[in-house]
């Protein structure tokens, strides 16, 4: 991949070190001093909406695309870089190289794809540079005292595990409504009532009632009447409060089982190593 033909790689498929398809190559960034390819960009994420930067050093051009000595997760998790100006500054280059476990220096170099059919780079990297060389047999970047899979640390690895952080959140589960309606029932009540009736009585003429008895004609015809009264039942209705009903809530506790996948790192040694770790 030289200065004149680097454009033909735009749109080709980029593959990871384990032959997993990463995405399509979108742009080729050249070294300011050498005009050699220094970084490739690849479209990743949902519908290819993200653009990740990948060092062009150690890229291997094959018949079906371009392969780089990095995993798909390394490429997808690469730092986001603002390239609105179309140029990478040294701080952005440093972040990218450190992410891919490559030592950064500010001297320029002739990094990029090598000329010829293999497309394997020399292992140095544009203006950023590297302190090591490419291993042409494994496609990985090595150097003295250098962590091959991440930033330089000490002589020990840290093993990490994911753990589930389980909590609760409130959400609407349903609604309850209090509604009042009217029904009609028959009710029977017995009420005592009074009524008058005529009573015919006789009494003898005595000295006390003699004047009343002789006040009229001696012989005559006449009529006398009495008004009779009676009570009847009268029904009225009066609304009165009976009880109060209100709608409230109470909390009950139940159990819910949550199942989720967690990732755990495992560290194994290769070669003649006496493994003195405890069993985990």
- Domain boundaries, position 82: 6-142
Name the more confident of 277 and 7.
277
Residue 14 — very low, low, confident or very high, per pLDDT cuts 50/70/90?
A: very high
Is residue 80 a part of any domain in this protein? yes
The string of DSSP letters for 208-227 reads TTHHHHTSS-SS--------
Is residue 87 a part of any domain in this protein? yes
Percent of the chain with pLDDT over 70: 76
Residue 153 — very low, low, confident or very high, per pLDDT cuts 50/70/90?
A: low
The pLDDT of residue 217 is 85
Mean pLDDT value of segment 136-145: 36
Average pLDDT, rounded, for the chain: 77
Write down how long the chain is. Answer: 280
The pLDDT of residue 116 is 35
Mean pLDDT value of segment 167-186: 89
pLDDT over 60 at 169, yes or no: yes
Domain total in the chain: 1
DSSP strand E in 11-58: where?
13-15, 21-30, 37-44, 50-55
Name the more confident of 83 and 267.
267
Mean pLDDT value of segment 17-42: 87
Percent of the chain with pLDDT over 90: 19
- Please state, in angstroms and as integers, the Cα–Cα distance from residue 167 to each residue in 109, 137, 161, 164, 263, following that order: 52, 49, 19, 9, 19
pLDDT over 90 at 70, yes or no: yes
Token pair, residue 5, equals 């033909």
Closest CA relative to residue 60, chosen from 110, 122, 8, 3: 122
- Please state, in angstroms and as integers, the Cα–Cα distance from residue 68 to each residue in 51, 53, 169, following that order: 16, 12, 44
Is residue 107 a part of any domain in this protein? yes
Is residue 169 a part of any domain in this protein? no
pLDDT over 60 at 67, yes or no: yes
Degrees, nearest 5: CA angle 268-273-276: 75
Is residue 104 a part of any domain in this protein? yes
Residue 194 — very low, low, confident or very high, per pLDDT cuts 50/70/90?
A: very high
Stated pTM of the model = 0.38
pLDDT over 50 at 37, yes or no: yes
Is residue 93 a part of any domain in this protein? yes
Residues 103-126: pLDDT tens digits? 876 544 444 343 333 333 333 333
Token pair, residue 82, equals 């603002």
Closest CA relative to residue 14, chosen from 73, 45, 50, 60: 60
CATH number, position 99 = 3.90.50.10
Residue 183 — very low, low, confident or very high, per pLDDT cuts 50/70/90?
A: very high
DSSP, collapsed to helix, strand or coil, labels residue 134 as strand
Is residue 241 a part of any domain in this protein? no
Is residue 134 a part of any domain in this protein? yes
Burial of 279 (0-12, 13-18, 19+ CB in 10 A): exposed
The rounded distance, in Å, linking the Cα atoms of 171 and 195 is 71
């Amino acid at each position: 991949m030289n200065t004149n033909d680097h454009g033909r790689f735009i749109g080709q498929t980029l593959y990871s070190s384990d032959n997993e398809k990463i995405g399509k190559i979108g742009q080729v960034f050249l070294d300011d001093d050498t005009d050699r390819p220094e970084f490739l960009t690849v479209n990743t994420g949902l519908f290819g909406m993200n653009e990740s930067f990948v060092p062009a050093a150690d890229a291997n051009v094959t018949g079906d695309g371009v392969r780089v000595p990095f995993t798909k997760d390394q490429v997808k998790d690469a730092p986001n870089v603002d390239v609105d100006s179309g140029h990478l500054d040294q701080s952005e280059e440093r972040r990218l190289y450190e992410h891919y476990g490559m030592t950064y220096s500010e001297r320029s170099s002739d990094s990029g794809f090598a000329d010829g059919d293999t497309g394997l780079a020399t292992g140095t990297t544009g203006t950023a540079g590297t302190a090591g060389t490419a291993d042409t047999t494994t496609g990985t970047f090595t150097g003295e005292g250098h962590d091959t899979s991440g930033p330089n640390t000490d002589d020990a690895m840290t093993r990490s595990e994911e753990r589930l952080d389980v909590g609760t959140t409130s959400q609407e589960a349903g609604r309850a409504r209090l509604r009042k309606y009217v029904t009609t029932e028959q009710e029977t009540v017995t009420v005592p009532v009074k009524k008058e009736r005529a009573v015919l009585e006789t009494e003898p003429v005595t000295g006390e009632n003699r004047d009343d008895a002789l006040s009229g004609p001696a012989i005559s015809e006449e009529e006398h009447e009495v008004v009779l009264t009676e009570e009847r039942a009268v029904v009225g209705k009066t609304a009165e409060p009976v009880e109060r009903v209100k709608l409230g809530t109470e909390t009950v506790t139940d159990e819910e089982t949550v199942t989720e996948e967690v990732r755990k790192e495992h560290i194994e040694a290769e070669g003649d190593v006496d493994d003195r770790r405890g069993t985990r």
